[in-house]
Amino acid sequence: MIRCCQYSRRAVLVDGILLLNPWWMGVLLNTVLGAIALLTRQKLLTPAGLFHAWLLGVLIWGTLSWQGYLIVMVYFLVGSAVTRLGMTEKEAAGIAEKRSGARGPENVWGSAFTGTVCALLVVLLPQWRELFLVAFVASFSTKLSDTCASEVGKAYGQRTFLITTLQPVPRGTEGAVSLEGTLAGLVGATAIALLGWSVGLMGAIAIPICILAAFFANLVESLVGATLQGRYPWLSNELVNGINTTVGAGLAMGAMALLQYTFE
């Protein structure tokens, strides 16, 4: 029962409990988590990366509440864990992520910029809410798929091939693919897609759409890595990640829109 007599945009008292609006809740939650991370000297984010992760968390909670926040947290925690697989061997081979996988600002936004834009558009363009929610989930499904495929492939890939020629290449080569990495990527994409459905961000029909969008987006990323990334210094891994998530989100959104139009 609401006990306050006036509605407040900042907070409302329900059965004696003060409920903050999503934006203030996002600030409070992420400030507490940030303080814990600083006190425990966590190694998942650099100090600058921690601030940018705080900003990302506020934006996601403010727009999509706990459901969207959970998607980002699962991606971040699982992606960080996968990055550390076989770290000793990857560092010895010179193919490990820099800073032993600790995320800086460029990593935060390379992975999450597309998803953040989709989350903001859910609020700004509510008439297309369903499409942008699918695109949001697909962007993180694509990114976790990419992380799992890359890191598992580098750690455990028995045979890696350049996607453009299918010629054997060393693990860690830009544009290289492996069976182990591909299967891990499908698992990562499926995990986020199922999570997005289970928390109510999208319907069950969008699960295979997100998985397929992630698969094809990762093919595009491998092609970019094999053909363009080495030629242009400005085409960084973070920018390629942004391209990857944008392609995944766009494919999923387009497929969902086509499906809606077909069955109208």
Condensed to tens digits (0 to 9), the pLDDT of residues 99-127 reads 666 788 999 999 999 999 999 999 999 99
Longest dimension (CA), the chain: 71
**pTM for the complete prediction?**
0.89
Contact 141, 216 (CB under 8 A): no
Whether 34 contacts 50, CB under 8 Å:
yes
Residue 2, beta-bridge partner list: 14
Please tell me whether residue 48 adopts helix, strand or coil conformation. helix
Question: Tokens 């971040």 sit at which residue?
Answer: 76
Q: What is the distance between the alpha carbons of residues 37 and 76, in angstroms, rounded to a whole number?
A: 14
- From first to last of its 264 residues, what are the pLDDT tens digits of the chain? 334 434 344 555 444 444 568 899 999 999 999 999 888 887 789 989 999 999 999 999 999 999 999 999 999 999 999 988 888 777 777 776 676 667 889 999 999 999 999 999 999 999 999 999 999 999 999 999 999 999 999 988 889 999 999 999 988 888 899 999 999 999 999 999 999 999 999 999 999 999 999 999 999 999 999 999 888 888 998 999 999 999 999 999 999 999 988 887
